[in-house]
Structure 1
Amino acid sequence: MTQSLLDPAQPVGEFDHLERLLDAAPHLMNQLNTDRYAAELASGIEAVVQTFTTTNAPFTGRTPADVSVAIDHVDLDSPLHNTRDALTELQDVYLRDAVYFHHPRYTAHLNCPVVIPALLGETILTAVNSSLDTWDQSAGATLIERALITWTADRLGLGPDADGVFTSGGSQSNLQALLMARSHAGATSSNTPTTTATAPLATLRIFASDAAHFSVQKSARLLGLSEDAVVVVPTDANRRMRPDALSAALEAAVRDGLAPMAVVATAGTTDFGSIDPLSEIAALCGQYKTWMHVDAAYGGGLITSLRHRNRLSGIEHADSVTVDYHKTFFQPVSSSAVLVKDARMLGHVTHYADYLNPRGEVLPNQVNKSLQTTRRFDALKLWLTLRIMGADGIGAMLDEVIALATQFGAEIDATDDFELAAPPQLSTLVFRYTPKTKLTVTQDAIRKAIFASGEAVVAGTVVDGEQFLKFTLLNPDTSARDLRAILDLIRRTAAQLEQRGVQA
């Protein structure tokens, strides 16, 4: 027992009570159990360090059937009563066969390796376990989150009236933005703040490019809109929304008696990293008095870039913006935010409960701004990253992967057996294997075989009805040499599949 943590004037009987409590709840995190906490976390860190230092591929290639054998043999009603035994077991059921985003030959999805200051933040926030809904559950954590929202809004140029809140990810951020847009269009009750119009729900339309994130369609369904509520706007050769096509779509909607509820511009599409012409889109939104939302889940990290910040020019006109810190800020999931130019718009999601945030409460309660009630203190990870590394440290890593994409895009374009779908816009490369002899296996079969080998992880997508492969570059440790090795792996894998007569 740590005597210094107890009140010296406490009656002796109370010490007996605390010792009984420790015996009854030996794993409970409290002031009596800090030694156990430190020792067991050290064991967990040791297991992670050992796994990272001995992992020489992004994946083992094991199948769901392979991994399920170990998990199915675990009897959850028979605890091991020993941390080291549990961690040894964890190697079999998880750590050994995890997909490791830090490996330089993981090039698939928008998953980044994470920085150590953010991991420090994760350790602290889980131990204290603040809940970011009300002040009396979070105190200073609320103010740290608010400071980071202000920092982000300032870098986006949203102005002095901006505000926002952390969310679980881009899909939730997009949903909340479109909910506010719907409410602002007057499709809900008349007592919502600053309602500007009254439009029947069935007439509302959302405009997004054919390269926009699927969460736009999902959000429309969740908001009770019709199946055709999302108007798909064509893109140009660089997969950017065409302003002329948007203008025509808006004009047609108004002519047909429909109400343009929102335009979703994308700053960093999932496949191509393309950034829509934000200034031109903003002008059209102003002309039609339509909410402008920018999904910058991927491209939002450019606010830290030392070289490419101007690519977000025009984002300052947005009514709302999505930013995912767990993509181009190198933060662990989950860490995202939705920001608004006018703080009053967050009132569209406010609901008062007497037991939580009663009407008239003057304390800074974040639940007033959020779709969620209970929320983790995810902002602490970004806070410590900025305090230890600085924004320039984040930006330098992002600039590194953008430079690699540009360099290697040109290298792929110069080969005679690979074809680029479009020039790189951020840090993704969409391409396909096109040898001189007719390929008898699909791009997808090649991708799956490479994943099964565990040597690399490559993504796949479909462009204009055709299968393509994709590199998503978010790891500053990945080099052109790694990417050349993956291209060679693609060639070898295709040849092996053809020799085996694989047709799919």
Structure 2
Amino acid sequence: MSTPSLASGPQGPHALRPLLDTVLEALDEGAHARGGPLPAGGPAAVAARVRAAVGDVLPPNGDPHALRTLVHALAEGAADPADPLCAAHLHCPPLAVATAADLAVGVLNPSLDSWDQAPSASELEALVTRALAREAGASDALVTTGGTESNQLALLLAREALGAGVHLVCGANTHHSLPRAAWLLGLPDPVIVPAPAGTLDPAALDDALTEIHGPHLVAATAGTTDAGLIDPLPEIAAVCQTHGARLHIDAAYGGGLLFSDRQRHKLTGLGAAGTVTLDLHKLGWQPVAAGLLAVRDPHDLTALHQHTDYLNADDDTEAGLPDLLGRSLRTTRRPDILKIAVTLKTLGRTGLGTLVDQVCDHAQEFAALVQGHPAFELHDRPTISTVLFRPAHTTDDTVAAVRRKLLHQGRAVLGRARLDGRLWLKATLLNPYTRPDDLAALLALVEKTVQEPA
């Protein structure tokens, strides 16, 4: 075997070009072999194909065709979020320009734990995070791996600001990562407030804050995972102000509405939060990962300060070398900010806002199709881009079985959500280029599957 090449340095471009051709060809061939939004056959069939492709994971001698073989296997067995019939989760199809920027990150391999490993990347991160923070009414933002890490950071900052006895008060609709973060941080058991309509009830929140001695951290949601609902943020902010409670808003899903002139009014009240979770690998069309935690009071971030001489020695910091350790709980971390920066600069507010408007419009169109079809029931009109629906006059067992059958056959990827005591199919529409015919085809496919024998 020839000597393996490096991705960077003088020979990097020469070494990468043929490999990129190999990857692109294997992606295309794998997608054609898959033939739909999901591989057919279910977990056992996918596992068998992957095992056959991999063979010996660490063979005595290398295989020069491994790149093509394994990329092909991965693509053939992938869920394709760009397929209009792949609409289960908050799993977006990434933009080509963002993915290309991610390649540059892989080549240069900066690590944002000290300035001398990432000189330009550290400055780029500072510029972009503060600009995005201002969009959310905050002063600064940290880059995270997504909503879960952002929510954990928000609780950590609240604990350091308010004390270890701070109570998390959140709705029954809250993302699972928030109660989990309270457990990880050793906080008291969260107080769960009813959300009978799928959103946090301000009156019930007021009662809860009255009954429980502080300090309190209230967590509201702007874009629930199940239905894409937004809590009444101005009313919740007013209740928090009355009780002197700190407010965190999980806008991992809904935060992207800030880019749209038509949609951003739905986030009125966001600026009242001490911390806001944002996640641009949802309504930002970024490759995973692209999370942020926006922070209103920059002094909160002093709680994250760490000192280790080999990364941020005092004399280096005094001499002007930026200290990066307080920008994350992680040490080694890649500059995910580059793909975000490239996307913001390439598309601008208008371009991103157009994509947001398109997926929101698609959701309204799909909801209208469901509502006008006698064989289906619509849960409610969508708030963002999630539509809950189910075949009419069927049981929850039938709804679950239809979803699994579509998955097993590789024909469509729909999610599931339990609301109002019933199970619903969930279509999360994040592909801005979905066409009306695609929406009609999705509904027709579900109808056909319901009618097929079990």
TM-score category by the smaller chain?
over 0.9
Larger radius of gyration: 1
In structure 2, the CA distance between the partners of 1:243 and 1:186, relative to structure 1 (3 Å rule), is same
Q: Percent identity?
A: 36
State the alpha-carbon separation in 2 of the partners of residues 440 and 141 from structure 1. Answer: 50
Check 1:29–1:458 CA distance in 2 against 1; reply closer, same or farther (3 A cut): same
Picking from 206, 227, 247, the partner of 1:272 is 227
Q: Aligned partners of 1:90 and 1:423: how far apart in 2?
A: 42
Q: Distance in 1 between matches of 2:212 and 2:181?
A: 20
1:452 aligns with 2:415: no
Letter in 1 for 2:438: D
Q: Which residue of 2 aligns with 1:181?
A: 158
Residue aligning to 1:111:
91
How much does 1:87 deviate? Answer: 3.6
Q: 1:33 & 1:473 partners in 2: Cα distance? A: 38
One-letter amino acid of the counterpart of residue 261, structure 1: H
Is residue 250–residue 260 contact of structure 1 (8 Å, CA) maintained in 2?
no
1:130 is matched with which residue: 110, 129, 132? 110
Where in structure 2 are the equivalents of 1:209-248 lying within 5 Å? 209-226=171-188, 229-237=189-197, 239-248=198-207
1:311 to 254, 262, 266: 266
Q: Which sections of structure 1, spanning at least 5 residues, go unmatched?
A: 1-21, 188-200
2:334 aligns with one of 376, 385, 388 = 376
Map residues 98-497 of structure 1 onto 2, 5 A cutoff.
Answer: 98-158=78-138, 162-187=139-164, 201=165, 204-226=166-188, 229-237=189-197, 239-254=198-213, 259-359=214-314, 361-362=317-318, 363-435=321-393, 441-496=397-452
**1:93: which partner in 2?**
73
* AA partner of residue 168 (structure 2): I
CA distance in 2, matches of 1:440, 1:328: 30
What is the alpha-carbon distance in structure 1 between the residues aligned to residue 75 and residue 28 of structure 2?
A: 11
The residue aligned with 1:76 is: 57
Residue identity in the other structure for 1:442: T
Q: Deviation string for 1:443-491 (max 9, x for gaps)? A: 1111000111111111112113321110001011223322222222222
Secondary structure of the residue that 2:192 maps to in structure 1?
strand
- Return the alpha-carbon distance in structure 1 between the equivalents of residues 48 and 369 of structure 2: 43
Q: What do you get for the CA RMSD once the two structures are aligned? A: 2.1
Tell me the TM-score normalized by structure 1: 0.84
In 1, Cα distance between equivalents of 2:337 and 2:32: 29
Shift of 1:318: 0.9
Match for residue 30 of structure 1?
A: 9
* Separation in 1, partners of 2:61, 2:274: 53
Paired with 1:27 and 1:154, the residues of 2 have a C-alpha distance of 39
Distance in 1 between residues matched to 2:388 and 2:35, nearest whole Å: 26
CA contact (8 A) 1:350 1:370 kept: no
Query: Which consecutive unaligned segments of at least 5 residues does structure 2 have?
Result: none
TM-score in terms of structure 2 length: 0.93
Shift of 1:91: 5.2
Q: How many residue pairs end up in the alignment?
A: 449
3-state SS in 2 of match to 1:471? strand
Distance verdict in 2 for CA 1:113–1:25, change over 3 Å? closer
Which 10-residue stretch deviates more, 269-278 or 322-331?
269-278
The structural deviation recorded for 1:277 is 1.5
Listed one character per residue, the Cα deviations across residues 122-141 of structure 1 (whole Å, up to 9, x for unaligned) are: 01011000011221111110
Paired residues of 2:171 and 2:194 also in contact (CA < 8 A)? yes
Task: Give the conservation status (yes or no) of the 8 Å contact 1:441–1:494.
Answer: no
- In the alignment, the residues of structure 1 paired with residue 337 and residue 396 of structure 2 have an alpha-carbon distance, to the nearest angstrom, of 49
